[in-house]
Structure 1
Amino acid sequence: MLRSMYSGISGMKNFQTKLDVIGNNIANVNTFGYKKGRVTFQDLMSQTVSGASRATNDRGGQNAKQVGLGSSLATIDSIQTQGSLQTTARDLDVAVSGDGFFVVKTGNNTMYTRSGNFYLDSNGSLVTAQGNLVQGYPVNAQGVVNRSGATNIKVDTNATMAPQASSLATYNGNLKASAAQGTEVEVETKVKDSLGKDVSLKITMTKTGVNNQWDVAISSLTPGVTVATGTTRTFTFDNQGNLTNPTSSNISLNNTTGANPTQPIELDFSKITQFDSSSSANTDTVDGNAEGYLESFNIGSSGEVNGVFSNGEVRVLSQLAVATFSNPGGLMKAGGNLFQASNNSGLPNTGVPGEGRGMLQAGALEMSNVDLSEEFTEMITAQRGFQANTRIITTSDEILQELVNLKR
């Protein structure tokens, strides 16, 4: 039988596989996080009719004579290039911009995905469209991420935030250097007691007769609360307008309204200046909070799940985990937009986004990286290649027919 017929058969099989891959790419052109496939071919071994000979003094060398025996599949690659990001404005839609995969659990198996359309189930767990549990790192009451191991991300929609007494207040702004003696600048600061109630403090700064000095008096405007210690002090500025003494001060409140009877608070005045411009001293930041209820949550660029509470506070509830691989092309597709590690993908390097891994973009999804123009071009190439190989078979058949007709 003719070798060309078998070469044509191998070519037809390979182009059929290529068309299968192209068809799958086109079918998933709108699949979130899909990574397209690519087929490459290689030739089969060749039959050596005669070997190569080396040159002699009176005769030149000759190359080997070989007849190829067809082609076979070399690879079916998974192309892990970045897909375009589509804005959805949905809080639970997240896209990875850069390297990395979301980590999910399906049963006891750990899987990976680039599809970030997440949902909350009835238990408050963050899940994929197929119900796979999204993995992340828990956060303690102080907002510190525990990276010892990833676990299921849960969002308690009935979560509350207990009141937290204020312990630090910071100030900024300016005191006019050329202000007349006796000029007063008043700043009111609202701090929280241990029950979350507001306590109003009045900071009165009075220009003294000494250059670069202001007397400071601290009092309470809230009935039942008094300033027990640290009621007075004197600000001293250098000739550059910077506060030199004291940059911070500790006070203690006596509370008779049912909250903690003693409450220490540090007042940080280090950002107060004395330049010859209008006085603008004011309260910068105050810690502490009233009781709050979780109203909404969102996902940040570093994967943190931020809870927004009714008291205006924002707390980190959890943090998404992202995994990278030394050879992401070695991951095996497992269906349902999932990948699983293989012997050639390498071990997962799991951590938080941004540390050698891609950043996250909330309110967006990664589209498929399939290029339809490229796929249609490859389809034409595969179709013509398939047709050409069928011609090889029909031509070989015609030659065999002629050989059979010789008997006539």
Structure 2
Amino acid sequence: MFGAIYVGLSGLRAYSNGIQRVSNNVANLNSLGFRASTVTFSNVQTARDYGGISFQNGALGHGGGVGLYDASLNLRSGELRQTENDLDLAIDGNGFLTLLRGTETRYIRTGSFDVDRDGYVVLAGTDWKLGVLDGAGRATPVSIDASRTNVPAVTTRINFADNLSSTATAYTVSDMSVYDASGAKHLWTATFTRTSGTMDWKVKVTDDKGITIGEQTLAFLNGAPTSDTNQLTFADTANALSVVFDFSSNVTSFSAGTVSTLRAAKVDGHAVGSIASIAVNTKGELELSYSNNEKKQIGPVAIAVFRDAHSLRQESAGQFTPEPGADVQLLSSEDPRGGQVLSRRLEASNVDLSQEFGDLILIQRGYQASSQIISVSNDMIQQLFGIRGQG
């Protein structure tokens, strides 16, 4: 009977710990990146001694009650939710983002990131830095301080495209933005005038002050620019500009009445730019976007993949730490084994509330039954003591 009491106590202990685990799961229903812990019970077998013969966990052993298995994480992905913050990051796949702090490394499924005063991308409210892959495939924190300004680039080429009507006599392409070495913008206008009875066009370039940059001839043969005139260079010595007007591809001259569609399809060069946004692009690279519409990639986000993800231990704030010596591999988004890093996404908890409530009911019944065992055993002991007293 005393053994039955201890068996009942094991049930109270196991189910108390079980309900604590369920409570933690339910309480973290809305915790970002949280992974629910499983609640699994197991019988405990003991040995009995009969006449000096010991039977271990075997035929003549007896039940010693119930125990709670160590927690195992449910690694099923949670729902990916849309946000408005470019540095809200999540992974569509099995991998983990890599966090670095000094010599420490942790992993996380999702998180809201900020840029700290030193230019590092850090998990909001912490000093854990987001890891990106270096040239050797190692995770390293990267500062954007050296890239806060995008230096200007001089315009050297304008590529034209489409049709300059062979039956028209004049056409203008205006407001072409060109940039000098200081990043200053100049607006150029190209006026095309056809010489009567020929397929030769006089090209006159002027700036926004009305100053003539230069005049040259563009000739066509069988609807295509001739090889000796399909690239014309115009130099603005006052602003140290020398720009090639490239008509060598995608430019034609066929009859279209007075309607021409010739346009400046691509103009290189740009003004100075400052950072407008920081996000992760479709290739999983941390990318800076500048006010001058230029972009710069500063490295692919490091995605960690574990051979045995169940060896991870869940820490606070949705972070995970592996067991010592765990086999971890670092990949980029372009490797399908780890998944894709997404901007403007946060992963919700994977807690299944209906499953947790079901476990809650079963645990409650187990606890009640175990307490009843103790109560009945206690009554039997009291009855036995009463019999002894009567004797």
- The TM-score normalised by the length of structure 1 is 0.76
Distance in 2 (alpha carbons) for counterparts of 1:388 and 1:81:
33
1:309 to 258, 280, 290: 290
Does the alignment pair 1:153 with 2:142? yes
What's the secondary structure of 1:69's corresponding residue?
A: strand
- Cα RMSD of the aligned pairs, angstroms, is 3.9
TM-fit CA distance, 1:355: 4.4
Distance in 2 (alpha carbons) for counterparts of 1:379 and 1:207:
91
More helix by share: 2
Structure 2: 5+ residue runs without aligned partners? 51-58
Does the alignment pair 1:387 with 2:368? yes
How many residues matched?
A: 375
Aligned pair in 2 of structure 1 residues 233, 244: CA closer, same or farther (>3 Å)? closer
Aligned to 2:55: none
What's the secondary structure of 2:25's corresponding residue?
A: helix
Structure 1: 5+ residue runs without aligned partners? 51-63, 139-144, 238-242
Matches within 5 A, 1:103-114: 103-114=98-109
Native 8 Å contact 1:184 1:207 kept in 2? no
Matches within 5 A, 1:36-55: 36-45=36-45
Aligned to 2:179: 192
Query: Could you give the per-residue CA deviations for residues 116-140 of structure 1, whole angstroms, max 9, x where no partner exists?
Result: 11123222322223423323448xx
Native 8 Å contact 1:203 1:216 kept in 2? no
TM-fit CA distance, 1:109: 0.3
TM-fit CA distance, 1:389: 1.5
Matches within 5 A, 1:96-107: 96-107=91-102
- The TM-score normalised by the length of structure 2 is 0.79
Matches within 5 A, 1:6-405: 6-45=6-45, 67-137=62-132, 146=135, 148-156=137-145, 159-174=148-163, 180=167, 183-188=169-174, 189-196=176-183, 197-198=185-186, 200=188, 202=190, 204=192, 215=200, 218-222=203-207, 223=211, 225-226=213-214, 232-234=218-220, 236=222, 249-259=230-240, 263=242, 265=244, 267=246, 269-272=248-251, 279-317=260-298, 319-343=300-324, 346-352=327-333, 355-405=336-386
Native 8 Å contact 1:159 1:294 kept in 2? yes
Residue identity in the other structure for 2:64: L
Distance in 1 (alpha carbons) for counterparts of 2:192 and 2:330:
56
Distance in 2 (alpha carbons) for counterparts of 1:171 and 1:385:
80
What's the secondary structure of 1:200's corresponding residue?
A: strand
Amino-acid identity (%): 26
Distance in 2 (alpha carbons) for counterparts of 1:354 and 1:120:
27
Distance in 1 (alpha carbons) for counterparts of 2:325 and 2:41:
20
TM-fit CA distance, 1:114: 2.2
Aligned pair in 2 of structure 1 residues 7, 268: CA closer, same or farther (>3 Å)? farther
What's the secondary structure of 2:31's corresponding residue?
A: coil
Native 8 Å contact 1:7 1:69 kept in 2? yes
Aligned to 1:53: none
Aligned pair in 2 of structure 1 residues 127, 276: CA closer, same or farther (>3 Å)? same
What's the secondary structure of 1:78's corresponding residue?
A: coil
